[in-house]
């Protein structure tokens, strides 16, 4: 067990924000995690200094140095644990890169996550955020997970119902926030693909690619092509993907919005409400391509806030606050940040 002092986190967050951690360590086993958390407990008071579990760093905005212990989750490994007539159950360590996991599944002919190709981050964040794209969410392929309960220092198993998944939500973001460390996730994947190509521009991209025979490989490549054309590469321009959630309003509100803004983009939901396109709202409020210093709103996708080089986390946060207020004033709709603020 090696704990380092005053370590830069710039290379460990996709925004590339230059902040430091008072203390820093990696863990690649549950025993190591347990040992590090024990070390972090003050014997006299049984209190802990602040602790942050860091995965891929792709859904976090640091606004200041972290005055505590940052633990980098490096629990890896992918294995098939069981199968039945229709499904294959695949377990992955929380520290596995998400896109690598998707490619591994596609290589093995396991269907269900191909629409989630090229999403940044690690496996551990997938149920925490209930990540989703192009008509698919983690809850659609989720089977179970294991998580280390920090107060009781033991592993707890969570089923689909236990996670209480919502739109970019789970119990780990609110009810059990900072109580658990996700260590591994098991997905229920399909032997026979059930293609979902109606969302976004997937069908058009498949046609552009000249695909005659649909496959999970083709759908994955179409998604990769679309994402690459619209979203900035964090290795080139610092960002955390979609910064805001798509807001949900009721039908009456949408009718009123549509009457005032006929081009308003909305998708009907099963609960009768309408999900608005946050990117459209932000663009119509005039923020697309906006830049102040090195903090900006991406020129191709208004939903993505970016660090062009040397922006501070507070610069990005302040820009997001201006956008929230601007959209609220123009449309009467409140946006919510998807990215975690630290």
3-state secondary structure labels for all residues of the chain: CCCEEEEECHHHCCCCCCCEEEEEEEECCHHHHHHHHHHCECCCCCCECCEEEECCCCCEECCCCEEEEEEEECCCCEEEEEECCCEEEEEEECCCEHHHHHHHHHHCCCECCHHHCCCCCECCHHHHHCCEECCEEHHHCEEEEEEEECCCCEEEEEEHHHHCCECCECCCCCCCCCCEEEEEEEEEEECCCCCCCCCCCHHHHHHHHCCCCCCHHHHHHHHHHHHHHHCCCCCCCEEEEECECCCEECHHHHHHHHHHCCCCCEEECCCCCEEECHHHHHHHCCCCCCEECCEEECCCCCCEEEECCCCCHHHHHHHHHHHHHHHHHHHCCCCCECCEEC
Structure tokens at 157: 């198993």
Shared-domain flag, residues 49 and 115: no
Active site residue 168: yes
pLDDT band at 47 (very low <50, low <70, confident <90, very high): low
Residue 249 confidence (pLDDT) above 70: yes
CATH code: domain of residue 158: 3.30.465.10
Note down the domain range covering 289: 238-341
Residue 90 forms part of a structural domain: yes
User: Which residue, 65, 78, 63, 56, is CA-closest to 11?
Assistant: 56
Residue 231 forms part of a structural domain: no
CATH code: domain of residue 251: 3.90.78.10
First to last CA, the chain: 25
Contacts of 107 (CB under 8 A, 6+ apart): none
Residue 23 forms part of a structural domain: yes
Q: What percent of the chain lies above the pLDDT cut of 90?
A: 65
Shared-domain flag, residues 66 and 87: no
Among 45, 73, 101, give the residue marking a domain's end: 73
Shared-domain flag, residues 88 and 183: yes
Residue 225 forms part of a structural domain: no
The catalytic residue among 168, 188, 227, 337 is: 168
Among 46, 73, 100, give the residue marking a domain's end: 73
The catalytic residue among 170, 220, 242, 320 is: 242
Shared-domain flag, residues 114 and 51: no
Average pLDDT over residues 184-190: 97
CATH code: domain of residue 69: 3.30.43.10
8 A C-beta contact, residue 12 and residue 127: no
* Tens-place pLDDT, residues 112-151: 999 999 998 899 999 998 988 888 999 999 999 999 999 8
pLDDT band at 29 (very low <50, low <70, confident <90, very high): very high
**CA-CA distance, 235 to 291, in Å (whole number)?**
19
Average pLDDT over residues 284-301: 94
Residue 45 confidence (pLDDT) above 50: no
8 A C-beta contact, residue 225 and residue 209: yes
Shared-domain flag, residues 116 and 162: yes
Among 190, 225, 258, give the residue marking a domain's end: 190
Determine the pLDDT at residue 41.
65
pLDDT band at 188 (very low <50, low <70, confident <90, very high): very high
Q: What is the pTM of this model?
A: 0.86
Shared-domain flag, residues 43 and 139: no
pLDDT band at 80 (very low <50, low <70, confident <90, very high): very high
Residue 220 forms part of a structural domain: no
The catalytic residue among 137, 146, 248, 338 is: 338
User: Which residue, 56, 50, 48, 74, is CA-closest to 9?
Assistant: 56
Residue 204 forms part of a structural domain: no
Shared-domain flag, residues 133 and 183: yes
Shared-domain flag, residues 297 and 327: yes
Number of domains in the chain: 3
Active site residue 242: yes
Average pLDDT over residues 316-322: 97
Give me the helix-helix angle, 202-209 and 216-230, nearest 10°.
110
Shared-domain flag, residues 87 and 35: no
């Amino acid at each position: 067990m090696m704990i380092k002092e005053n370590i830069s986190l710039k290379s460990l967050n996709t925004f590339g924000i230059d902040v430091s951690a008072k203390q820093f360590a990696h863990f690649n086993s549950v025993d190591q995690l347990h040992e590090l958390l024990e070390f972090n407990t003050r014997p006299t008071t049984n209190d802990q200094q602040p602790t942050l579990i860091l995965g891929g760093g792709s859904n976090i905005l640091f606004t200041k140095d972290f005055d505590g212990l940052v633990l980098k989750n490096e629990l890896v490994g992918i294995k098939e644990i069981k199968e039945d007539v229709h499904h294959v159950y695949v377990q992955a360590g929380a520290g596995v890169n998400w896109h690598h996991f998707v490619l591994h599944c596609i290589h093995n002919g396991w269907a269900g996550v191909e629409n989630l190709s090229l999403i940044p981050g690690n496996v551990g964040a997938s149920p925490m955020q209930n990540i989703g794209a192009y008509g698919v969410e983690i809850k659609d392929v989720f089977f179970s997970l294991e998580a280390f309960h920090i107060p009781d220092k033991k592993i707890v198993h969570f089923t689909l119902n236990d996670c209480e998944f919502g739109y970019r939500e789970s119990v780990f973001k609110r009810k059990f926030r900072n109580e658990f460390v996700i260590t591994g996730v098991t997905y229920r994947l399909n032997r026979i693909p059930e293609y979902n190509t109606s969302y976004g521009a997937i069908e058009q991209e498949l046609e552009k690619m000249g695909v005659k025979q649909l496959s999970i490989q083709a759908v994955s490549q179409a998604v990769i092509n679309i994402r690459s054309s619209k979203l900035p590469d964090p290795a080139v321009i610092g960002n955390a993907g979609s910064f805001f959630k798509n807001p949900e309003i009721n039908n009456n509100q949408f009718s009123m919005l549509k009457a005032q803004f006929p081009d308003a983009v909305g998708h009907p939901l099963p609960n009768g409400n309408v999900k608005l396109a946050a990117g459209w709202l932000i663009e119509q409020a005039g923020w697309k391509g906006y830049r102040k210093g090195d903090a900006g709103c991406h020129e191709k996708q208004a939903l993505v806030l970016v660090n062009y080089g040397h922006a501070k986390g507070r610069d990005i946060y302040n820009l997001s606050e201006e956008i929230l207020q601007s959209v609220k004033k123009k449309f009467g709709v409140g946006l919510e940040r998807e990215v975690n603020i630290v």
